[in-house]
């Protein structure tokens, strides 16, 4: 063996190996706040830099696809401690996160948040009021329809979900999948209550199968349904628009958002059929193993009046603060409804049954009548 | 092989295994832990889950039709290009084969623009999606048909055709087809078709954006990847990933085997033309070449134009203005999206990082295979196939393999190890490096080295002063190819690079495109990023073309 | 039999100008000259694979100047035997005719070679098969483009005399081009030096 060469080799390896693994990994410092989120609009540049400037903390974001991916990520990383704060779990994912012990308790003062005891029709603390998650925005998920086409003449305005399984609606309803989309999941949960899941085993499955057979468009995310398929929204003017659905799942205040952007006009309207709307709350949670102190600071900032009152404008969702409402300008408030009789499913039930329900949904969708 | 060489060889195989095989094994192990070992069940799960239903059928059918269309479009181009002389032939060939190196996500953007309101305006008609997808696959892969067939045609000894003209039973059209064209072109067309099938089969970016409703096995895997490998949570995701990757693995392996089998039977028996041979010009050939050039350039130009076209929001309409706002938005970025410069920086860092590992690693592996060919042919064959294994893995599987595999070894590394995407890129590029360097080594004239030996030069000297300089061309091709593939890589990075600070140019394009379309700058900014990526890729590609051996018949 | 009148062709430089060649039935003519002087081009023009700049070619009195190569009935033996590797010897012969394979193979000294793979043949054997095929096509004239140049001396001498005998036997007129005077002397009845014409 050629010794001079061999020793050069050993030295080379010794230098390369550690430098490759060691100094390149990023250790979290105490001055850092790592936020796990999907694309939450509220977390804008200015909002973040204000926080950084006032606290001296440095914010780093880990972006995943959607709400569901946040949960998956947390489960995959349980105990690793590389994430301090998760923003964007909603009340359909939260029960699982709690059950799997992924979250850390924080002591946030929630007095300013609309709660169980308030007369608000949208109590942000209603679904969950513990210390593992703090609400930061909310809204009612419900069906929206294009009122310029669904006007009683060209299309009858549905009064029951079964209407949507009729031939007139074939291929004209766009629904996000409950497996991958949180509004989709919320809507699915509403249909469970609509079809009285506790007392009735079959209607829920039968309806979804009938919808599938009626060529309902199932999308992986909300934006595909709303922007690409729905004719009632702004999708018309965007690239990739197809415009084959006149009803979709969105929020009861989405028509208000449309109106606000369009200067007080919209053709989109919310469908207020009993038990088809689902109350969704989105949460910010400190993660077990992360820096909960820093996380707390951000949560407090997120529910501060200064930030949270801007939710309708920055994030297109309701603020969770007591006494807050949608702005009146441009018909935002006027065109938004609060459903008279929304679906009700408790967090406990969600936690216990969500996997079963998703499986039932899946079975219904692969079945053919 | 002396001891130093042996040491390097073993080290290379070890590193290659560590980077490539071990993470995949760990990933599969983890998935099996969740799903149990039941291949039939895995495959059945694809039909039993709504999210993956029909993906098997769709994947096969679209790959099949894509292959046919690719041959139908590509072959006339290869024929015309190969049979006649053309001004700037090398340049024409570069333009026509350029699509192959354009990242798929950019092609998707281009085709969406072409079919959208500023183009043919057929996007709203769902029946056009299928055709858009097939055409986009053909767009990509005609380069393969051209690369495989054109050299055969242009270096064929014309005597073969002339002799047939002078023989009574040889002169008819069918005779020429049967006795000349079919035997000589079938291996090339078949090999190119195999590769086209493979690439279409594992298509991701194009399927994701173009055929919104249907999914391939690859896009299904990417969609469920975030929830795969978790025990007790969304377990069907693990079933789906195992089922999809098993099918993919088998199909890819079969295609690769078929392709290498066909290439072995290639036209080495057919004499090549003398270098003095001059082909005729044929102006009629422009009827084929001109549309082909248009077809090839159209998506590229659409993307560039699209970066300057901003929808006018003052009216709710499709009216637009020309502006550089999209570029500014791309350069500035926001908290939602890092600026273009950061993504570019990441992309370049990753691609150079990939190069530093993949090039020497691939070279040593190729060298090892070549040296073993003399003493231990079976072992060299095994090693050669071993280095090709990543070809049989789709990008999504590679990404997933790294994520799940690394998690098993060191969970925090999965999200803290900044160079994690490099591992994915290395996995994908090492086989290409081997496939480029190995033929060059095989055709390296031993007498150069032997002569240097008798002149008294040491191993070290001979390697750096004789061998490397003579191998310069193929090393450069391998370098540029590695850089280009790493820059444009999307599928694996989509899964691996979750940390937004690791974002690369292709991922940035995808993220920007996924923003709510209400923002009129969504599309122009993503097109701006796409333009930057395209320009870099094109420059690299043109550099390669200068050094390529034009008699090479094959992918690279 | 074959009359070439005032043939002219240039490729940059003039290859031949106002060249006249006559070939009688059964005659074997050799055209000699150094490499690059236009011998191969002349043959290719005669059999129709290339066009003349000017001049006429008459075969048995008929003007074939404008007739395509496949219709002239003139055969060409290329410098390297053009055998189709995917066909056996018999397969290659079939391109000329489906019959009499055994007979012609005996004539060229390769009996029972029908089923052989062409890439197992030696240089000389390959040329013999090419010749057999050319003869099977029953050409009016056979042109030979330096077919012996790639072979070693012993083999080529044998082949030259065998081929000459065969052609004489069939009274097949032939033109050989070569740069080798000895070869030309052995093979032909008379010679023309292209470089001196």
Instruction: Tell me the pLDDT tens digit for each residue of A353-368.
Output: 998 999 999 999 998 6
Residue/partner pairs of B351-356 with CB below 8 Å, 24 or more apart: B351/B425, B351/B482, B351/B483, B351/B486, B351/B487, B352/B483, B353/B419, B353/B422, B353/B425, B354/B422, B354/B425, B354/B426, B354/B429, B354/B482, B354/B483, B354/B486, B355/B479, B355/B482, B355/B483, B355/B486
A2 against B310, higher pLDDT: B310
Secondary structure class of B42 (helix, strand, coil):
helix
Q: Give domain status of residue C96, yes or no.
A: no
Considering only CA atoms, give the Rg of chain C. 16
Query: Positive or negative, the Cα torsion across A22, A25, A26, A29?
Result: negative
- Specify the pLDDT at position A45: 78
- Partners of B516 on chain A (C-beta within 8 Å) are 223, 227
Averaged pLDDT for residues A179-206? 92
Averaged pLDDT for residues B417-430? 85
Instruction: Tell me if chain A has a CB within 8 Å of the CB of B314.
Output: no
Determine whether the interchain pair B407/A20 forms a contact, defined as Cβ–Cβ distance below 8 Å.
no
Q: Give domain status of residue C118, yes or no.
A: no
Chains sharing 3 or more CB pairs under 8 A with chain C:
B
Among the listed ranges A92-96, B116-120, B195-199, B341-345, which one has the minimum average pLDDT value?
A: B116-120
Domain of A159: which CATH number? 3.40.190.10
Q: Give domain status of residue A15, yes or no.
A: no
Determine whether the interchain pair B166/C75 forms a contact, defined as Cβ–Cβ distance below 8 Å.
yes
Do residues A92 and A194 share a domain?
Answer: no
- pLDDT class for B500, splitting at 50, 70, 90? low
- Specify the pLDDT at position A152: 87
C-alpha B180/C-alpha C92 separation (Å) is 12
Beta carbons within 8 Å of C22's beta carbon, 6+ residues apart: C2, C3, C4
Q: Give domain status of residue A187, yes or no.
A: yes
Distance from CA of B461 to the nearest CA of A (A): 13
Secondary structure class of B498 (helix, strand, coil):
coil
Q: Give domain status of residue C106, yes or no.
A: no
Overall domain count for chain C: 1
Q: Which of residues 42-101 of A touch B (CB under 8 A)?
A: 43-45, 48, 60-65, 68-69, 71-73, 75-77, 79-82, 96, 100
Averaged pLDDT for residues A268-289? 95
**Does residue A2 surpass a pLDDT of 50?**
no
Q: Which of A42, A63, A216 to mutate to test the interface with B (most CBs of B within 10 A)?
A: A63
Q: Give domain status of residue A1, yes or no.
A: no
Q: Confirm if B248 and B24 have CB atoms less than 8 A apart.
A: no
Instruction: Tell me if chain B has a CB within 8 Å of the CB of A217.
Output: yes
- pLDDT class for A23, splitting at 50, 70, 90? very low
pLDDT digits (tens, 9 = 90+) for A217-260: 999 889 889 988 999 988 877 667 788 899 999 999 999 999 99
Q: Which residue of B has its CA nearest to A261?
A: B518
Averaged pLDDT for residues B165-170? 88
Do residues A169 and A130 share a domain?
Answer: no
B64 against C16, higher pLDDT: B64
Instruction: Tell me if chain C has a CB within 8 Å of the CB of B179.
Output: yes
- Specify the pLDDT at position B225: 82
Q: Give domain status of residue C149, yes or no.
A: yes
- Specify the pLDDT at position B268: 58
Determine whether the interchain pair A5/B311 forms a contact, defined as Cβ–Cβ distance below 8 Å.
no
ipTM above 0.95, yes or no: no
Partner-chain residue, chosen from A43, A228, A366, that has the shortest CB–CB distance to B212: A228
Q: Could you give the percent of chain A with pLDDT greater than 70? A: 90
- pLDDT class for B373, splitting at 50, 70, 90? confident
Among the listed ranges B84-88, B437-441, B457-461, which one has the minimum average pLDDT value?
A: B457-461
- Specify the pLDDT at position B277: 66
- Specify the pLDDT at position B90: 78
Do residues A103 and A218 share a domain?
Answer: no
**Does residue B430 surpass a pLDDT of 70?**
yes
**Does residue A14 surpass a pLDDT of 50?**
no
Q: Which of B124, B320, B412 to mutate to test the interface with A (most CBs of A within 10 A)?
A: B412
- Specify the pLDDT at position A28: 66
Distance from CA of A136 to the nearest CA of B (A): 18
Q: Which of residues 129-168 of B touch C (CB under 8 A)?
A: 157, 159-160, 162-168
* Beta strand pairing call for A247-251 and A173-176: parallel
- Partners of A261 on chain B (C-beta within 8 Å) are 518
Chains C and A touch (3+ CB pairs under 8 A): no
Secondary structure class of C88 (helix, strand, coil):
strand
- Specify the pLDDT at position A10: 46
Q: Give domain status of residue A8, yes or no.
A: no
Give me the domain span that covers residue A95.
32-138+279-327
Determine whether the interchain pair B160/C84 forms a contact, defined as Cβ–Cβ distance below 8 Å.
yes
- Partners of C47 on chain B (C-beta within 8 Å) are 166
Residue B244 in tokens: 């999809």
Q: Give domain status of residue C77, yes or no.
A: no
**Does residue B364 surpass a pLDDT of 90?**
yes
pLDDT digits (tens, 9 = 90+) for C69-117: 888 889 998 888 888 888 899 998 988 889 999 999 998 889 999 999 9
Q: Give domain status of residue C171, yes or no.
A: yes
Determine whether the interchain pair C70/B162 forms a contact, defined as Cβ–Cβ distance below 8 Å.
no
- Specify the pLDDT at position A6: 42
- Specify the pLDDT at position B265: 59
Chains B and A touch (3+ CB pairs under 8 A): yes
Residue C196 in tokens: 């001196």
Question: Class assignment of domain B53-223+246-306?
Answer: mainly alpha
- Specify the pLDDT at position B547: 67
Nearest in space to C19 (alpha carbons), one of C177, C181, C149:
C177
Partner-chain residue, chosen from B157, B170, B269, that has the shortest CB–CB distance to C95: B170
**Does residue A9 surpass a pLDDT of 60?**
no
- Specify the pLDDT at position B269: 64
- Partners of C94 on chain B (C-beta within 8 Å) are 169
Question: What's the Cα-to-Cα distance from B182 to each of A13, B268, C70, rounded to whole Å?
Answer: 53, 15, 21
**Does residue B147 surpass a pLDDT of 90?**
no
C-alpha B87/C-alpha B289 separation (Å) is 12
Q: Confirm if A355 and A293 have CB atoms less than 8 A apart.
A: no
pLDDT digits (tens, 9 = 90+) for A85-105: 999 999 999 999 999 999 999
- Specify the pLDDT at position A131: 94
Averaged pLDDT for residues B310-338? 78
**Does residue B11 surpass a pLDDT of 90?**
yes
- Specify the pLDDT at position A13: 47
Averaged pLDDT for residues B340-351? 89
pLDDT digits (tens, 9 = 90+) for B39-59: 999 999 998 898 888 899 999
Query: Positive or negative, the Cα torsion across A89, A93, A95, A101?
Result: negative
- Partners of C49 on chain B (C-beta within 8 Å) are 162, 165
Determine whether the interchain pair B160/C86 forms a contact, defined as Cβ–Cβ distance below 8 Å.
no
Overall domain count for chain A: 2
- Partners of A102 on chain B (C-beta within 8 Å) are none
- Partners of A241 on chain B (C-beta within 8 Å) are 117, 123-124
Distance from CA of B334 to the nearest CA of A (A): 6
- Specify the pLDDT at position A291: 92
Distance from CA of B97 to the nearest CA of A (A): 28
**Does residue B552 surpass a pLDDT of 60?**
no
Do residues A306 and A344 share a domain?
Answer: no
- Specify the pLDDT at position B292: 93
**Domain ranges within chain B, ordered by starting residue:** 53-223+246-306
Q: Give domain status of residue C47, yes or no.
A: yes
Instruction: Tell me if chain B has a CB within 8 Å of the CB of A25.
Output: yes
Give me the sheet containing C2-11, strands edge to edge: C13-23, C2-11, C54-59, C62-63
- Specify the pLDDT at position B413: 65
Partner-chain residue, chosen from C69, C80, C84, that has the shortest CB–CB distance to B166: C69
Do residues A51 and A180 share a domain?
Answer: no
- Specify the pLDDT at position A101: 93
Domain of C8: which CATH number? 3.40.50.300
Averaged pLDDT for residues A308-326? 91
Instruction: Tell me if chain A has a CB within 8 Å of the CB of B127.
Output: no
- Partners of B120 on chain A (C-beta within 8 Å) are none
Averaged pLDDT for residues A178-206? 92
Residue A323 in tokens: 């006494």
User: Where does B84-210 have alpha helices with state H?
Assistant: 89-97, 104-115, 127-154, 159-165, 173-176, 182-201, 205-209
Q: How many CB atoms lie within 10 A of CB C190?
A: 10
- Specify the pLDDT at position B408: 66
Determine whether the interchain pair C47/B166 forms a contact, defined as Cβ–Cβ distance below 8 Å.
yes
Averaged pLDDT for residues C167-194? 91
- pLDDT class for B520, splitting at 50, 70, 90? confident
Give me the domain span that covers residue C53.
2-71+141-196
Do residues A151 and A230 share a domain?
Answer: yes
Averaged pLDDT for residues B220-229? 84
Q: Which residue of B has its CA nearest to C117?
A: B269
C-alpha A269/C-alpha A150 separation (Å) is 10
**Does residue C49 surpass a pLDDT of 80?**
yes
Q: Confirm if B255 and B392 have CB atoms less than 8 A apart.
A: no
Among the listed ranges B224-228, C21-25, C133-137, which one has the minimum average pLDDT value?
A: B224-228
The structure tokens 């014409």 sit at: C197
Averaged pLDDT for residues C166-183? 91
Residue B41 in tokens: 């069940």
Distance from CA of B119 to the nearest CA of A (A): 11
Determine whether the interchain pair A366/B7 forms a contact, defined as Cβ–Cβ distance below 8 Å.
no
Averaged pLDDT for residues B69-87? 92
**Does residue C27 surpass a pLDDT of 60?**
yes
Considering only CA atoms, give the Rg of chain B. 24
C-alpha B154/C-alpha B160 separation (Å) is 13
CA atoms within a 13 Å half-sphere pointing along the CA-CB vector of B282: 15
Partner-chain residue, chosen from A24, A177, A240, that has the shortest CB–CB distance to B123: A240
Q: Could you give the percent of chain B with pLDDT greater than 70? A: 90
Instruction: Tell me if chain C has a CB within 8 Å of the CB of B278.
Output: no
């Amino acid at each position: 063996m050629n010794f001079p060469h061999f020793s050069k080799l050993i030295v080379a390896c010794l230098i390369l190996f550690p430098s490759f693994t060691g100094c390149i990994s990023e250790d979290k410092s105490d001055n850092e706040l790592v936020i796990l989120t999907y694309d939450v609009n509220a977390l804008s540049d200015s909002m973040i830099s204000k926080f950084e400037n006032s606290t001296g903390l440095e914010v780093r974001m880990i972006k995943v696809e959607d709400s569901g991916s946040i949960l998956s990520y947390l489960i995959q990383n349980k105990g690793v401690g590389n994430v301090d704060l998760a923003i964007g779990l909603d009340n359909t994912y939260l029960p699982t996160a709690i059950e799997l012990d992924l979250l850390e308790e924080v002591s946030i003062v929630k007095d300013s948040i609309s709660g169980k005891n308030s007369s608000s029709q949208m109590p942000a603390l209603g679904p969950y009021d513990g210390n593992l998650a703090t609400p930061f925005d909310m809204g009612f998920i419900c069906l929206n329809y294009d009122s310029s086409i669904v006007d009683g003449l060209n299309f009858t305005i549905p009064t029951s979900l079964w209407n949507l399984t009729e031939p007139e609606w074939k291929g004209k309803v766009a629904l996000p999948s409950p497996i991958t989309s949180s509004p989709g999941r919320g809507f699915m949960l509403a249909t469970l209550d609509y079809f009285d899941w506790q007392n009735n085993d079959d209607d829920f499955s039968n309806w979804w199968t009938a919808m599938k057979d009626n060529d309902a468009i199932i999308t992986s995310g909300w934006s595909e349904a709303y922007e690409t398929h729905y004719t009632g929204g702004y999708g018309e003017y965007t690239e990739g628009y197809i415009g084959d659905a006149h009803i979709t799942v969105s929020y009861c205040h989405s028509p208000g958002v449309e109106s606000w952007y369009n200067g007080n006009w919209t053709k989109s309207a919310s469908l207020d059929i009993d038990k088809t709307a689902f109350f969704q709350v989105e949460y910010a949670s400190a993660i077990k193993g992360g820096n909960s102190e820093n996380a707390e600071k951000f949560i407090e900032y997120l529910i501060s009046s200064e930030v949270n009152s801007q939710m309708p404008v920055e994030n297109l969702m309701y603020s969770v603060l007591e006494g807050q409402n949608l702005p009146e300008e441009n018909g935002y408030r006027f065109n938004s409804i609060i459903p008279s009789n929304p679906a009700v499913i408790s967090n406990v039930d969600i936690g216990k049954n969500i996997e079963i329900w998703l499986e039932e949904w899946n079975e219904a969708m692969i079945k053919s009548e | 092989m002396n001891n130093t060489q042996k040491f390097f060889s073993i080290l290379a195989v070890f590193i290659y295994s560590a980077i490539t095989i071990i993470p995949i094994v760990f990933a599969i192990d983890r998935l099996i832990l969740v799903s149990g070992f039941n291949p039939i069940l895995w495959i059945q799960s694809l039909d039993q889950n709504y999210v993956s239903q029909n993906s098997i059928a769709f994947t096969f059918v679209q790959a099949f039709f894509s292959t046919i269309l690719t041959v139908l479009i590509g072959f006339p181009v290869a024929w015309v290009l190969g049979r006649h002389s053309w001004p700037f032939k090398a340049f024409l060939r570069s333009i026509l084969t350029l699509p192959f190196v354009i990242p798929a996500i950019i092609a998707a953007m281009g085709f969406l623009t072409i079919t959208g309101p500023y183009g043919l305006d057929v996007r709203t008609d769902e029946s056009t999606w299928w055709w858009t997808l097939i055409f986009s696959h053909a767009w990509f892969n005609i380069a393969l048909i051209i690369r495989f067939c054109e050299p055969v045609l242009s270096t064929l000894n014309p005597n073969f055709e002339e002799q047939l003209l002078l023989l009574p039973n040889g002169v008819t059209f069918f005779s020429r087809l049967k006795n000349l064209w079919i035997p000589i072109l079938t291996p090339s067309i078949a090999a190119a078709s195999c590769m086209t099938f493979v690439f279409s089969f594992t298509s991701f970016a194009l399927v994701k954006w173009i055929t919104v409703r249907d999914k391939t096995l690859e896009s299904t895997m990417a969609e469920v990847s975030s929830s795969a490998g978790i025990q007790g949570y969304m377990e069907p995701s693990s079933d789906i990933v195992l089922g999809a990757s098993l099918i993919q693995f088998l199909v890819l392996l079969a295609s690769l085997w078929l392709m290498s089998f066909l290439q072995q039977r290639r036209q080495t028996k057919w004499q090549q033309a003398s270098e003095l041979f001059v082909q005729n010009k044929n102006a009629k050939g422009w009827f084929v070449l001109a549309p082909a050039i248009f077809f090839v350039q159209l998506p590229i130009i659409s993307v560039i134009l699209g970066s300057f076209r901003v929808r006018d929001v003052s009216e709710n309409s499709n009216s637009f203005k020309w502006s550089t706002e999209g570029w500014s938005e791309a350069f500035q970025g926001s908290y939602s999206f890092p600026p273009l410069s950061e993504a570019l920086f990441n992309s370049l860092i990753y691609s150079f990082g990939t190069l530093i590992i993949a090039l020497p690693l691939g070279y040593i592996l190729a060298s090892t295979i070549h040296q073993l060919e003399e003493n231990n042919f079976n072992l060299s064959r095994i090693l050669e196939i071993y280095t090709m294994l990543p070809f049989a893995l789709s990008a999504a599987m590679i990404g997933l393999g790294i994520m799940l595999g690394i998690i098993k070894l060191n969970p925090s590394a999965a999200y803290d190890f900044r160079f994690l995407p490099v591992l994915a890129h290395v996995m994908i590029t090492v086989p290409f490096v081997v496939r480029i360097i190995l033929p060059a080594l095989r055709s390296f004239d031993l007498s150069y080295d032997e002569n240097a030996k008798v002149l008294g030069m040491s191993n070290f000297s001979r390697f750096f002063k004789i061998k490397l300089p003579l191998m310069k061309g193929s090393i450069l091709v391998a370098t540029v190819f590695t850089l280009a593939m790493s820059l444009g890589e999307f599928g694996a990075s989509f899964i691996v690079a979750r940390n937004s600070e690791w974002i690369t140019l292709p991922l940035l394009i995808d993220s920007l495109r996924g923003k709510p379309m209400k923002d009129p700058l969504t599309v122009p900014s993503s097109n701006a990023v796409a333009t930057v990526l395209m320009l870099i890729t094109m420059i690299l590609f043109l550099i390669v073309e200068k050094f390529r051996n034009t008699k090479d018949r094959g992918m690279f | 039999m074959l009359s070439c009148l005032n043939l002219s062709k240039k490729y940059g430089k003039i290859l031949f100008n106002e060249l006249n060649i006559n070939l009688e039935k059964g005659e074997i003519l050799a055209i000699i000259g150094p490499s690059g002087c236009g011998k191969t081009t002349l043959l290719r023009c005669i059999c129709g694979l290339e066009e003349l700049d000017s001049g006429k070619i008459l075969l048995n009195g008929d003007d074939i100047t404008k007739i395509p190569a496949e219709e002239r009935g003139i055969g060409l033996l290329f410098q390297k035997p053009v055998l189709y590797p995917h066909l056996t010897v018999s397969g290659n012969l079939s391109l000329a005719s489906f019959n009499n394979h055994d007979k012609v193979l005996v004539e060229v000294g390769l009996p029972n070679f029908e089923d052989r793979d062409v890439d197992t043949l030696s240089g000389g054997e390959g040329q013999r098969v090419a010749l057999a095929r050319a003869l099977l096509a029953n050409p009016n004239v056979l042109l030979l483009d330096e077919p012996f140049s790639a072979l070693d001396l012993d083999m080529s001498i044998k082949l030259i005399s065998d081929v000459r005998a065969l052609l004489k036997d069939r009274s097949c007129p032939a033109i050989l081009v070569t740069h080798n005077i000895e070869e030309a002397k052995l093979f032909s009845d008379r010679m023309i030096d292209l470089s001196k014409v």
